[in-house]
Amino acid sequence: MSTEPVVAAVDGSDDSLRALDWALDAARRRGAPLRVVHVRQYAPWGQPDVLVAGPLDQGDDPVIGEARTYLDSRDREGTAVEYTALDGLPGALLPELGDAAQLLVLGSRGRGGFASLLLGSNGLAAAREAACPVVVVPPPGREVHGEAAPADPGPRVVAGLHVDHPDDAALSFAFAEAARRGARVQAVAAYPPPDQPWVAPAELPPPVIDEKEVEAEVRTLAEGFLAPHRARYPEVAADAYVVPGDAAGHLVAASRDAELVVVGRHRRRLLAPARMMGSVTQAVLLHAAAPVAVVPPTPTET
What is the mean predicted confidence (pLDDT) over 199-228?
Answer: 80
Q: Which ranges constitute the DSSP H helices of the chain?
A: 14-30, 62-72, 90-97, 121-129, 168-181, 211-232, 247-254, 279-287
DSSP tag of 272 = B
Q: Residue 45 — very low, low, confident or very high, per pLDDT cuts 50/70/90? A: very low
- Judged against a pLDDT cut of 50, whether residue 275 lies above it is answered with yes
**In Å, what is the CA distance from 176 to each residue of 23, 157, 233?**
16, 10, 8
Report pLDDT for 273.
Answer: 43
Q: How many CB atoms neighbour CB 123 within 10 A?
A: 29
Asked if 30 and 180 count as a contact pair (C-beta separation under 8 A), the reply is yes
Distance CA 133, CA 276 (A): 14
Distance CA 252, CA 7 (A): 25
Q: How many CB atoms neighbour CB 33 within 10 A?
A: 15
Report pLDDT for 240.
Answer: 94
Report pLDDT for 80.
Answer: 95
- Kindly report, residue by residue over 210-221, the tens digit of the pLDDT: 778 888 999 999
Report pLDDT for 207.
Answer: 58
pTM for this model (two decimals): 0.84
Q: Residue 276 — very low, low, confident or very high, per pLDDT cuts 50/70/90? A: low
**Same fold for the pair 6-137 and 156-301:** yes
Residue of 148 and 183 predicted with greater confidence: 183
Report pLDDT for 96.
Answer: 92
Residue of 195 and 66 predicted with greater confidence: 66
* Domain range summary for the chain, segments of one domain joined by +: 6-137, 156-301
Give Cα 161 to chain centroid, integer Å.
14
Q: Residue 290 — very low, low, confident or very high, per pLDDT cuts 50/70/90? A: very high
What is the mean predicted confidence (pLDDT) over 70-83?
Answer: 90
What is the mean predicted confidence (pLDDT) over 26-37?
Answer: 96
Supply the mean pLDDT for the chain. 82
Q: Residue 185 — very low, low, confident or very high, per pLDDT cuts 50/70/90? A: very high
β-strands 238-244, 292-295: how paired?
Answer: unpaired
Lowest mean pLDDT among 181-195, 231-245, 274-288: 274-288
Asked if 97 and 130 count as a contact pair (C-beta separation under 8 A), the reply is yes
DSSP tag of 99 = G
CATH class of 156-301: alpha beta
Q: Residue 269 — very low, low, confident or very high, per pLDDT cuts 50/70/90? A: very low
Find out if CATH 3.30.420.40 is the number for domain 6-137: no
- Kindly report, residue by residue over 78-118, the tens digit of the pLDDT: 899 999 998 888 888 889 999 999 999 998 864 444 333 33
Report pLDDT for 21.
Answer: 95
* Portion of the chain with pLDDT greater than 90, in percent: 50
Taking the CA atoms of residue 191, residue 192, residue 193 and residue 195 in that order, the dihedral angle to the nearest 10 degrees is -150
